[in-house]
A and B are shown apart, each in its own frame.
Chain A
């Protein structure tokens, strides 16, 4: 049987990806340019017995999805810039309480209200440092409608596997552009479900590390009674100020992601092997970069593309390796140097890093990247 094909918008594909992953609860608040995700979920979730709720604000939406997740559901919220700022309080709560949830943040200009309808890539630092305190961060940055679908499925998998919030951050161009999508059949993409406790309720502890760094999370209403708090907690979920426990728990929360970087990180290398100039890019900007790389090759410039698919964790080790044999990096991005700074931080000065930054609501044109290649080669 032929696969289902559609010409679809990125945001709609993200919603479809969530449904494919088994999402059963969405809470949100209207905000440009992510609202289409909520619109699709409001129509589709009740069809599969799921729930959609439009909350009173972004804060409430993030809180509601965590509450729903604790009853065992796979949950999603979607937002953009100012909404992401508001959600940070409860994102931190989900980090410390280790509640799986997925946040789709369609990047628009900022700070503050910024440019609501203009594209941007300036929330990637907010994905890692937005909420206070030390915490794990997983952030996926897809570049096409198809990939937005698939990475949303993977976001749910990572959230469940590591009991942590996962952010999917398409820029506005990827969120709003339409292209052909081929829907995977059920079972074609891996779908990971939440690990359930194997111990009886009276022995259950929500943070019991005898089951490893990611202990099973029981569901409220399933016969397991336990306590959840945003305070630093011990294995049984109750608050503690005991120094050794607090230190160990904080470290474990971060280690869940850091020790599994290889499993989480994803990137694509295009013509990097013999490249002298490597463009490091993500989202829609990586599409401009690929275009520029192809043009450059035609003109005899040995250019390559390193396309980030996860922004966090960041593939530092691989970039360090590549840096030993290239003449220069080019980092085009729709912000004032967020990715550029991270690249500089991991390549130990092995090669110069040339940023191309735009924050004017306009995409970075392939010609801008091509000109930079000619300049630095």
Chain B
């Protein structure tokens, strides 16, 4: 029997705003399958986003949904999780939202290791505003604000998350659709701050400026650059040149923030 996505989609809220060929819908379907697989209750699940194309995702989901200000998803979500730790809190958003204007909230959510899952859809561009370069746009790439090629170096989102203290970091791509839900399932089940970066595509504002003649070309690029971490172990540095590792990149156990705060409450009440 086909998977029933409608169980998690708000009636009457589709069609979505995303362009044909955009990978965000693939990610949303992966998220829905993951929520279903883990068995999260809709009433007890908050989906929080910032601003941008990817941040429109919560509106389609039949959960407690919070579409916040640009870059602030992690901060709003931290308030939700702290105030009601029994809720499952999932953040979604794009690369500009999460690593530029929201960079500070992102790294501090990682540092606290608060039990939330952050799905960051990295399409290397600010899509909603028409294709300006983001901190994840490759050096040299064309964007509406880099007509002579991008002079900026790009972030490695996964390394940023690991460096900041996230205890679960994974990467997938919009091409590898069936892997997305597996990564998100593992991220949700992980106790602590988990980051899943999904390499995504924006044919409308990135592809057409950077010599991708079709969505298929963009998807093929994702297919070609992705190397599973296991496979990479057997490859030489030369073979790994220009490749991007996918799968679970980092997984460690560390004290989780809301659990640690529960201990603060115990200590305060014992001292009372």
In the complex they form, do A and B come into direct contact, defined as C-beta atoms under 8 angstroms apart? yes
Q: Most B CB atoms within 10 A — which of A67, A93, A225?
A: A67
Q: Closest CB-CB distance, A374 to chain B, in whole Å?
A: 52
Q: Is A228 touching B65 in the complex (CB atoms < 8 A)?
A: yes
Interface size class, chain A: 35 or more
Contact residues, A11-34 vs B (CB, 8 A): 24-25, 27
Which of B13, B72, B78 is the one whose CB lies under 8 Å from A59?
Answer: B72
Q: Is B46 touching A51 in the complex (CB atoms < 8 A)?
A: no
Chain A residues near B104 (CB, 8 Å)?
A: 56-57, 60
Which of B43, B81, B108 is the one whose CB lies under 8 Å from A223?
Answer: B43
Chain B residues near A229 (CB, 8 Å)?
A: 59, 67
Q: Is A64 touching B82 in the complex (CB atoms < 8 A)?
A: yes
Among listed A42-50, A140-148, A298-306, A326-334, interface-contacting one: A42-50
Q: Is A68 touching B43 in the complex (CB atoms < 8 A)?
A: no
Interface size class, chain B: 35 or more
Q: Closest CB-CB distance, B201 to chain A, in whole Å?
A: 25
Chain B residues near A90 (CB, 8 Å)?
A: 69, 72
Interface residues as binary, B71-110 with A (CB distance below 8 Å gives 1, 0 otherwise): 0101111111111101100000000000000001101100
Q: How far is the CA of A43 from the CA of B269 in the complex (A)?
A: 10
A184 within 8 A of B: no
Q: How far is the CA of A372 from the CA of B33 in the complex (A)?
A: 74
A231 within 8 A of B: yes
Q: How far is the CA of A224 from the CA of B43 in the complex (A)?
A: 7
Which of B79, B82, B105, B264 is the one whose CB lies under 8 Å from A56?
Answer: B105
Q: Is A238 touching B13 in the complex (CB atoms < 8 A)?
A: yes
Chain A residues near B46 (CB, 8 Å)?
A: 220-221
B195 within 8 A of A: no
Which of B43, B108, B264, B269 is the one whose CB lies under 8 Å from A55?
Answer: B108
Chain B residues near A230 (CB, 8 Å)?
A: 67-69
Q: How far is the CA of A220 from the CA of B64 in the complex (A)?
A: 6
Q: How far is the CA of A41 from the CA of B140 in the complex (A)?
A: 50
Chain B residues near A223 (CB, 8 Å)?
A: 43
Q: Is A53 touching B78 in the complex (CB atoms < 8 A)?
A: yes
Contact of A55 with B78 at beta-carbon distance under 8 Å, contacts A60-B72, A71-B83, A220-B84 already known:
yes
Chain B residues near A325 (CB, 8 Å)?
A: none
A66 within 8 A of B: yes
B182 within 8 A of A: no
Interface residues as binary, B29-68 with A (CB distance below 8 Å gives 1, 0 otherwise): 0000000000000111010100000000011001111111
Q: Closest CB-CB distance, B55 to chain A, in whole Å?
A: 10
Which of B58, B79, B83, B264 is the one whose CB lies under 8 Å from A46?
Answer: B264
Which of B42, B44, B75 is the one whose CB lies under 8 Å from A64?
Answer: B75
Contact of A70 with B78 at beta-carbon distance under 8 Å, contacts A46-B264, A63-B72 already known:
no
Chain B residues near A220 (CB, 8 Å)?
A: 46, 64, 66, 80, 84, 87
Interface residues as binary, A216-244 with B (CB distance below 8 Å gives 1, 0 otherwise): 00001111111111110000001100000
A213 within 8 A of B: no
Q: Is A225 touching B63 in the complex (CB atoms < 8 A)?
A: yes
B272 within 8 A of A: yes
A73 within 8 A of B: yes
B154 within 8 A of A: no
Q: How far is the CA of A71 from the CA of B104 in the complex (A)?
A: 24
Q: How far is the CA of A72 from the CA of B64 in the complex (A)?
A: 13
Q: Is A225 touching B43 in the complex (CB atoms < 8 A)?
A: yes
Q: How far is the CA of A68 from the CA of B85 in the complex (A)?
A: 11
A353 within 8 A of B: no
Q: How far is the CA of A283 from the CA of B194 in the complex (A)?
A: 47
Q: How far is the CA of A223 from the CA of B43 in the complex (A)?
A: 5
Chain B residues near A46 (CB, 8 Å)?
A: 261, 264-265, 267-269
Q: Is A47 touching B75 in the complex (CB atoms < 8 A)?
A: no
Contact of A60 with B108 at beta-carbon distance under 8 Å, contacts A51-B82, A221-B84 already known:
yes
Q: Most A CB atoms within 10 A — which of B79, B80, B87, B264?
A: B79
Interface residues as binary, B155-187 with A (CB distance below 8 Å gives 1, 0 otherwise): 000000000000000000000000000000000
A89 within 8 A of B: yes
Q: Name the residue on A nearest B73 (C-beta).
A: A63
Q: Closest CB-CB distance, B65 to chain A, in whole Å?
A: 5
Chain B residues near A55 (CB, 8 Å)?
A: 75, 78, 108
Chain A residues near B265 (CB, 8 Å)?
A: 46, 49
Q: Closest CB-CB distance, B204 to chain A, in whole Å?
A: 20
Q: How far is the CA of A60 from the CA of B272 in the complex (A)?
A: 30
Q: How far is the CA of A118 from the CA of B247 in the complex (A)?
A: 55
Q: How far is the CA of A70 from the CA of B89 in the complex (A)?
A: 13
Q: How far is the CA of A281 from the CA of B258 in the complex (A)?
A: 45
A277 within 8 A of B: no
Q: Is B83 touching A25 in the complex (CB atoms < 8 A)?
A: yes
A and B contact pairs by CB, cutoff 8 A, 7 listed:
A25-B82, A46-B264, A51-B261, A63-B75, A63-B76, A64-B76, A67-B77
Residues of B in contact with A (beta carbons under 8 Å apart): 10, 13, 42-44, 46, 48, 58-59, 62-69, 72, 74-84, 86-87, 104-105, 107-108, 261, 264-265, 267-269, 272
Residues of A in contact with B (beta carbons under 8 Å apart): 24-25, 27, 43, 46-47, 49, 51, 53, 55-57, 59-61, 63-73, 75, 89-90, 93, 220-231, 238-239
